[in-house]
Amino acid sequence: TPTFQIRNFCIIAHIDHGKSTLADQFLLKTGTLQEREMREQALDSMDLERERGITIRMHPVTLYYTYGGREYELNLIDTPGHVDFHYEVSRSLAACEGAILLVDAFQGVQAQTVANAFLAMEANLKIIPVLNKIDLPQARPEHVIAEMEQALLIDPAEVLRVSAKTGLGMDELMAAVIERIPPPQGSVEQPLRALVYNSHFDTYKGVVVYVRIMDGQLRVGQKVRFMRTGREFVVTEVGRFRPGMTRCEELSAGEVGYFTANIKTLEYVNIGDTVTDALCPAAEPLPGYKEPKPMVFSGLYPVNNDDFEDLREALARLKLNDSSFTYQPEVSDGLGFGFRCGFLGMLHREIIQQRLERECDIELVQTAPNVTYEILKRDGTVVTVHGPQDVPDAGQIQEFREPIVRVSFLLPAENIGAIMQLCTDRRGTFVRTEYLSPKRVMLVYEMPLAEVIYDLYDKLKSITHGYGTMDYEFIGFRAADLVKLDILVHGNRVDALSVIVHRSQAERRGRAILKKLRDQIDRHLFEVALQAAIGSRIVARENIAPLRKNVTAKCYGGDITRKRKLWAKQAEGKKRLKQIGKVEVPQEAFLAVLEQE
């Protein structure tokens, strides 16, 4: 296909605004799939995605469509819709010249509509604004178009109206894709430059690298180089997604497809990297490569210690398919052997835990999540901290820094006061508000990521009765008055119970943890002291009163079967007790504390 007959585009939308349904409509309209062979939402193939209705992996598809007597090659690149995968969204946008901005004609502009539209504008894409679900009787197209104009400076005259469900308006949309989106620019004469915008691991073929060819050509047998790592491979297969992997001879400048090259691990393939010809390399890689860094960490422990090796294998398998996930062995006093795992965000964390439990049948305990911190030490070095156990002694710390995010909310105007209060309580800094209409408002705050990850989303949903949405973006590290809060059980510091908190919250948090512990630990023959401390300073304390000698004697007086049952139960319980100094702490105590918040 000559480049002037190629169009590369994606669909961006808030969750549930109809992206998958519209993608299916494109497959039908171009005859790529027949109605009967089309499973609902053919592009969302992973089970977990289907259940959650989100797109985690980006599936591209190449479509052919005849318009004005010419056959066009249309490459539709699906993008993930969730905030955890922002970086992947920006990479897939870089593979396109245009974007369909899809907005539900009833729900209107939402937080991810705004976030994704701005990403697309920053990437200089031609935007085709589209109102979806106009078949709904409650659709309010005029209002929603006004919101799009207000929030995104979209020209109302450019907005198309479709129903992805019934196919209404699809002809006009196909025409707009071809007429409004510019064809790709690159040159076949130049040395190869291909943007890696995604990949997956195939047991037989090795890594399948998803590429957009910017310049030059890519063929079987060609020796290629990944410019960031310098690693070289010989291409074994080149193809397009139609939507299944379909071999072809070559891919040329402007086209989208995949290649394989017996690459054994995803670690060699970085999203955002540039692939060039090893014999005739390009002078410069494509701009914009950035290492995606895990932002949220938590410990993952097998409930049964014997499952440790199985868990290690399962994590290694998972890593093959998800290079943004990280893990490292760690040992905890309370929980035994496990791994400290890094995730892009809370949804990513949940997805991985579910996948592990589902695919390898290991019961897991997940510790409370924490964000990544940076510490400037007095000796001038900067260390990255993935958990409380990595925090150096207070005396060595010059500056404690935490990650800050810019959070955008889209809300009913009546809830603005309550959400502003919530943000202030969470150490947020007000940035701006903007009314999209008298009834809907956009609110922007800068806030510590640590204050966002636990339950901000749930709080927003409950305050706004489900009508508020939010999205956030990492903006950098900032110094804050943070401390490591230690928990002492009868004078012994217990690592698994330490937390990193803002100094102003240390006392309250310490008291809450001690209270939970007090309820979990049985009485002993002596009084058990529980303390929360910052360094050597005690900020909260609780005592567990000693056992009175004859209290238990009474309950063993009954009949023998009841007695046996009790003994058996006690024996079972014993296995899960951890000895901390002279005190026996049940395993559940660790979980109760870690899960609290």
Q: Within 13 Å and on the Cβ side, how many CA atoms surround 2?
A: 4
Provide the minimum distance between the beta carbon of 78 and ligand GDP in the complex, in angstroms, as a whole number. Answer: 9
- Give CA torsion, residues 327, 331, 336, 341, to 10 deg: -20
Give the whole-angstrom CA distance, residue 318 versus residue 359.
10
Kindly calculate the radius of gyration of the chain based on its CA atoms and give it in whole angstroms.
Answer: 28
What does 133 interact with, of Mg ion, ligand GDP, none (CB < 5 to 8 A by kind)? ligand GDP
Element spanning 239, H or E: strand 237-241
Provide the minimum distance between the beta carbon of 13 and ligand GDP in the complex, in angstroms, as a whole number. Answer: 5
Provide the minimum distance between the beta carbon of 134 and ligand GDP in the complex, in angstroms, as a whole number. Answer: 7
Nearer CB in complex with ligand GDP: 43/282 = 43
Provide the minimum distance between the beta carbon of 12 and Mg ion in the complex, in angstroms, as a whole number. Answer: 12
DSSP 287: S
Provide the minimum distance between the beta carbon of 501 and ligand GDP in the complex, in angstroms, as a whole number. Answer: 36
Provide the H-helix boundaries in 447-505: 449-453, 456-463
Which of these ranges, 14-22, 62-70, 369-377, 389-397, lies near Mg ion under the rule CB under 5 A? Answer: 14-22
Provide the minimum distance between the beta carbon of 467 and Mg ion in the complex, in angstroms, as a whole number. Answer: 21
What does 18 interact with, of Mg ion, ligand GDP, none (CB < 5 to 8 A by kind)? ligand GDP
Return the residues of window 39-68 that contact Mg ion according to CB under 5 A.
55
Nearer CB in complex with Mg ion: 51/414 = 51
Give the whole-angstrom CA distance, residue 250 versus residue 255.
10
What does 148 interact with, of ligand GDP, Mg ion, none (CB < 5 to 8 A by kind)? none
Nearer CB in complex with ligand GDP: 135/390 = 135
Total residues binding Mg ion (CB under 5 A): 2
CB-neighbour burial class of residue 50 (10 A; exposed 0-12, middle 13-18, buried 19+): middle
Annotated binding residues for GTP: 16-21, 132-135
Q: Is 198 in the site for Mg ion (CB under 5 A)?
A: no
Give the whole-angstrom CA distance, residue 276 versus residue 261.
14
What does 344 interact with, of Mg ion, ligand GDP, none (CB < 5 to 8 A by kind)? none
Q: Is 20 in the site for Mg ion (CB under 5 A)?
A: yes
Neighbours of 64 (CB within 10 A): 14
Residues 6+ apart with CB under 8 A from 157: none
The angle formed by the CA atoms of residues 159, 160 and 163, to the nearest 5 degrees, is: 140
Provide the minimum distance between the beta carbon of 85 and ligand GDP in the complex, in angstroms, as a whole number. Answer: 14
Residues 6+ apart with CB under 8 A from 390: 383
Nearer CB in complex with Mg ion: 164/196 = 164
What does 310 interact with, of ligand GDP, Mg ion, none (CB < 5 to 8 A by kind)? none
Residues binding ligand GDP (CB under 6 A): 13, 15-21, 41, 53, 132-133, 135-136, 163-165
Annotated binding residues: 16-21, 132-135
Residues 6+ apart with CB under 8 A from 451: 426, 427, 428
Give the whole-angstrom CA distance, residue 64 versus residue 242.
10
Nearer CB in complex with ligand GDP: 136/413 = 136
Provide the minimum distance between the beta carbon of 109 and ligand GDP in the complex, in angstroms, as a whole number. Answer: 14
Terminal Cα distance for the chain, rounded: 57
CB-neighbour burial class of residue 400 (10 A; exposed 0-12, middle 13-18, buried 19+): buried
Q: Is 32 in the site for Mg ion (CB under 5 A)?
A: no
Which of these ranges, 13-21, 96-104, 117-125, 516-524, lies near Mg ion under the rule CB under 5 A? Answer: 13-21
Provide the minimum distance between the beta carbon of 113 and Mg ion in the complex, in angstroms, as a whole number. Answer: 14
Query: For residue 443, which phi and psi values (nearest 5 degrees)?
Result: -130, 130
Tell me which residue has tokens 């965000």: 345
Reply yes or no: is the peptide bond before residue 182 cis, omega within 30 of 0: no
Nearer CB in complex with Mg ion: 51/71 = 51
Neighbours of 382 (CB within 10 A): 12
Strands 440-448 and 397-412 turn out to be: antiparallel
Task: Tell me which residue has its CB nearest to Mg ion.
Answer: 20
What does 61 interact with, of ligand GDP, Mg ion, none (CB < 5 to 8 A by kind)? none
Nearer CB in complex with ligand GDP: 29/165 = 165
Q: Identify the bridge partners of residue 81 per DSSP, sorted by sequence position.
A: none
What does 16 interact with, of ligand GDP, Mg ion, none (CB < 5 to 8 A by kind)? ligand GDP
Query: 61 with 27: CB under 8 angstroms?
Result: yes
Provide the minimum distance between the beta carbon of 40 and ligand GDP in the complex, in angstroms, as a whole number. Answer: 8
Nearer CB in complex with Mg ion: 55/116 = 55
Nearer CB in complex with Mg ion: 55/270 = 55
What does 165 interact with, of ligand GDP, Mg ion, none (CB < 5 to 8 A by kind)? ligand GDP
Nearer CB in complex with Mg ion: 11/207 = 11
What does 136 interact with, of Mg ion, ligand GDP, none (CB < 5 to 8 A by kind)? ligand GDP
Q: Buried (b) or exposed (e) across 126-147, using 16+ Cβ within 10 A?
A: bbbbbbbbbbeeebeeebbbbb
Which residues in this chain contact Mg ion in the complex, by CB under 5 A?
Answer: 20, 55
